[in-house]
Amino acid sequence: MDYLQEDSLDDGCFGAATLRYAIFGDIHGNYDALEAVLKHLDKERIDVFLCTGDVVGYGAEPGRCIDTVRERCITCLAGNHDHAACGKLDTEFFNIFAKQVANWTRQKLTDEERKWLADLPFVCHFEDFMLAHGSAHSPEVFNYITTIFDAELSFECLDKPLLFYGHTHIPLAFFDTVPMTYTMDQEVHVNVEGKTLVNVGSVGQPRDEDPRASFAIYDSDKRVVQLIRIPYDVKAAGKKIIEAGLPEALAIRLELGK
């Protein structure tokens, strides 16, 4: 199933006919991690698959990851590495490795794959939650939510009880309590009277010193989010990076979870 595209910052919503959502992103061309995540999810009762973006970048199999996301997810958002790979984002502020991989990825993709990345929306609205790559606040500039101040900006413009996002590659949840609180627990209970920001972590490039792939399952009936970690063959993914002629440091980084 190909993705359903929503216009950027559109207020249209998908209905709530289904109850269990798989939400994942920051795959970064790491097909080994993506395959492991999908094998796990196939054992669950999942109604809808959603991707928060950054399908490519860093990893050695961008095209394979694009094909799989297009087949499995009803929507995929634009990430900064996706836009870099299709030429829509200047890589001036990327680190040296990210810039090198963006240029490499651009050359490996077909014209059709680059167009698909270029056409991805920045946000998607559902009945009781919103999806973004980096934040609800100015998602088109790929802001990060790394501090309480950043979280407050997204809370202020969020018109749903819940936001799913990625970009920092670290799974956690913020709550709009007074004072604001956060948790890194694996189970997050959503209070419909308040607002919750849930970072689903990264499938293919975790950065919390845990190399296992990270993703979320949301049960909209129970209003519970599970943040799940599963192992995958990190060495195989790293070997592909090296064999592709990409920096060895990227393979080492996968093993360290940084």
Question: What pTM was computed for the model?
Answer: 0.92
Q: What is the DSSP letter of 203?
A: S
The predicted pLDDT at position 18 comes to 59
- pLDDT tens series, the chain, 258 aa: 333 334 333 434 555 555 899 999 999 999 999 999 999 999 999 999 999 999 999 999 999 999 999 999 999 999 999 999 999 999 988 999 999 999 999 999 999 999 999 999 999 999 999 999 999 999 999 999 999 999 999 999 999 999 999 999 999 999 999 999 999 999 999 998 999 999 999 999 999 999 999 999 999 999 999 999 999 999 999 999 999 999 999 999 999 999
pLDDT given for residue 17 in this prediction: 57
Least Cα distance to 14 among 109, 102, 110, 124 occurs for 124
Q: How far apart are CA 69 and CA 35, in angstroms?
A: 11
- Contact between 220 and 181 (Cβ < 8 Å): no
The domains found in the chain, sorted by start residue, are 13-256 (3.60.21.10)
- What is the structure's pLDDT at 251? 96
